[in-house]
Chain A
Amino acid sequence: GDSVTQMEGPVTLSEEAFLTINCTYTATGYPSLFWYVQYPGEGLQLLLKATKADDKGSNKGFEATYRKETTSFHLEKGSVQVSDSAVYFCARTTDSWGKLQFGAGTQVVVTP
């Protein structure tokens, strides 16, 4: 069936390093794509989204581009901070009612 696959963690980085988290999906049609973030002790928060091919979502220095040809939505940040330590989830819509299918999550640990 359709799925969302993201790279396994934990990803451990030093502050100011470049972060990439890979996400690929399989789907019929053209879903909307999202990155959600879960900071320690908090609920899931929408980080960014893209609703059609070639759209770029961006927020808080993070970016991701909807690539239809490679069915990917990789998350990037040029210079991470300790406060970016969290679990990041890639997700796609599965219908027009906003139902989401999530990847397994990638834990990111940023050290000073």
Chain B
Amino acid sequence: DTGVSQDPRHKITKRGQNVTFRCDPISEHNRLYWYRQTLGQGPEFLTYFQNEAQLEKSRLLSDRFSAERPKGSFSTLEIQRTEQGDSAMYLCASSLGTVGEAFFGQGTRLTVV
């Protein structure tokens, strides 16, 4: 399977714990995006990378959130001190630079209890 893969698919955590998600983009794709989707809503942009450079962070991304893309390959999204409001589907997408033609992973569903 050469699509975008995300791990884990599901994560249940207690409030206050830290969690980390991983995204493996399509191998030749230089752009990588993170989005968050809550029930009944469309995905909302969180951050994106051009190779290893993080180009923009949404205001949705509080100081508790951090994302990395070492060496321009896989990416991680870490949430520290999770809150119930962080419960959502976290989506990763990658593209080769053709604007908007992003390929999405199946997402990581986070539940904070």
Contacts and interface: CB of A to CB of B under 8 A. Distances in A.
B97 interface: yes
Contacts of B3: 43
Nearest to B98: A98
Most buried by B among A43, A51, A96: A43
A11 interface: no
B95 interface: yes
Interface residues on A, range: 20 to 34
Interface residues on B, range: 20 to 34
Nearest to B93: A44
Contact of B40 (A42, A93, A102, A104): A104
Contact of A99 (B33, B98, B103, B105): B33
Contacts of A36: 104
Interface of A: 4, 32, 34, 36, 41-46, 49, 51, 89, 91, 93-94, 96-105
